[in-house]
Each structure stands twice: as structure tokens, then as C-alpha cells.
Chain A
Amino acid sequence: KNQVEQSPQSLIILEGKNCTLQCNYTVSPFSNLRWYKQDTGRGPVSLTIMTFSENTKSNGRYTATLDADTKQSSLHITASQLSDSASYICVVSPYSNDYKLSFGAGTTVTVRA
């Protein structure tokens, strides 16, 4: 079983609407949790990085939250744009080995006009 589970697997939203992606993880203890955006045919690009002591981190219209007690994180996209269409990947870095990340399978977001 993967140590990082994401939901939903995919979603379609209308331009201008908000959406929230979920990430549950079992990696413990962990050093930090990241959200990456991966456009089709490109490599992942970091959106946010939160340490275990942080609850929220924003990057423009992207806001990530973290509840280390329940081992859950979410990524909220506000006022979606067509360019937000991508896969969003939750990644957890274990405390014991910061080099060996655990990746979720990603949520594919499609923004329609």
C-alpha cells in the first residue's frame, strides 16, 4: 500500500471555480510535505513546502494546509484558470531520509471554460 494516497483521482471544474484536493499519508515521522504541479509532458514543479510544524502555506491562488495529527493535507485552488489544468502530486519527505521522497499518484485537474 502506498504511503501517500490522494483523492480524488481526477476532477473537472469550470473556470473561475474553486476546488480542494486531498492527501492522506502514513509516513511517520516526516520532515516536510510538498505539493507539486505537473503539466502534461513536463516535469513536476514545486508549489508549496510545509514542515511538520506548519499548518498552512500559500503560493498565489494555491493554498496548502497540513494537519500532522491526522496526517492529512489539502491543496485549495482559488478562482481556477485554464492553466491550472495539470496533475497535482502530494509528496512526503521522511524524517529519516530527506532524499527518499514518497509520492502520491496525483490528482488530475481539468479546468473547462
Chain B
Amino acid sequence: DTAVSQTPKYLVTQMGNDKSIKCEQNLGHDTMYWYKQDSKKFLKIMFSYNNKELIINETVPNRFSPKSPDKAHLNLHINSLELGDSAVYFCASSQAGIHNEQFFGPGTRLTVL
């Protein structure tokens, strides 16, 4: 299936732990994104990579570090997890020139206890 996929779908962990979320897209897109959706349902952009280069880096704690090994993958590593990090994290991808339409993954629900 052509899609944006994320793993894991659910992640429950203790405060202070380090965790990673993986994202892969097989749509051949050049740009990938990480979004955070909080309990109020707002989607907020965190990072964006274009051809493995960081192009958007919003005001996100430096405990969050994205890594793009190639243009089909964008992983998110989070250090020293805090209660406020609990949210749903969405990965997305787009191809410049086609209204830059973004295709979203299924989301990863992170719960920090």
C-alpha cells in the first residue's frame, strides 16, 4: 500500500524515559513533517525536512530531535519524557508543486505516566 506509516501506534512510558517514533513514506515525496495534536485537537507543526534537510523547526524543546536518514524516513526521538508530552504525534509527507498537499500517517498516541 502507498502510504505514510508510523510505529508504534501506541506508546505508554514513564516520565524521564527516552523513546522514538518511526515514520516512513513510500509516496516518493521530498518533504516530511512531524505534528503534535494535543487534547484540544489542534495540530501544531514541530519539524519539517525537505530532502533530509531541516526546513522548519518550531519552538519545540530540544528534548525532541528529528532524524532523517533518507527522504523516505523521518524519525522522532524524545529524551527525558514529561507528562506534557502526552499527545498524538502525526507524521506527514508532501511533494512540492502539487499544492504541497500533505498526506498524514495514522498517528502515534504517546502517554507519559
Contact = CB atoms under 8 A, between A and B. Distances in A.
Interface in B32-64: 33, 40-45, 48, 50, 55-56
Interface stretch (B14-22, B78-86, B103-111): B103-111
A21 to B, nearest CB: 14
Contacts of B42: 2, 103, 105
Contact of A89 (B4, B43, B55, B99): B43
B96 interface: yes
Interface in A61-113: 87, 89, 93, 98-101, 103, 105-106
Contact-size category for B: 20 to 34
Interface string B91-113: 01010100111111111000000
Q: How many of chain A's residues touch chain B, expressed as a range?
A: 20 to 34
Contacts of B40: 105
14 contacts: A31-B99, A43-B4, A43-B92, A43-B106, A51-B99, A89-B43, A93-B100, A98-B96, A98-B99, A99-B31, A99-B50, A100-B56, A103-B43, A106-B41
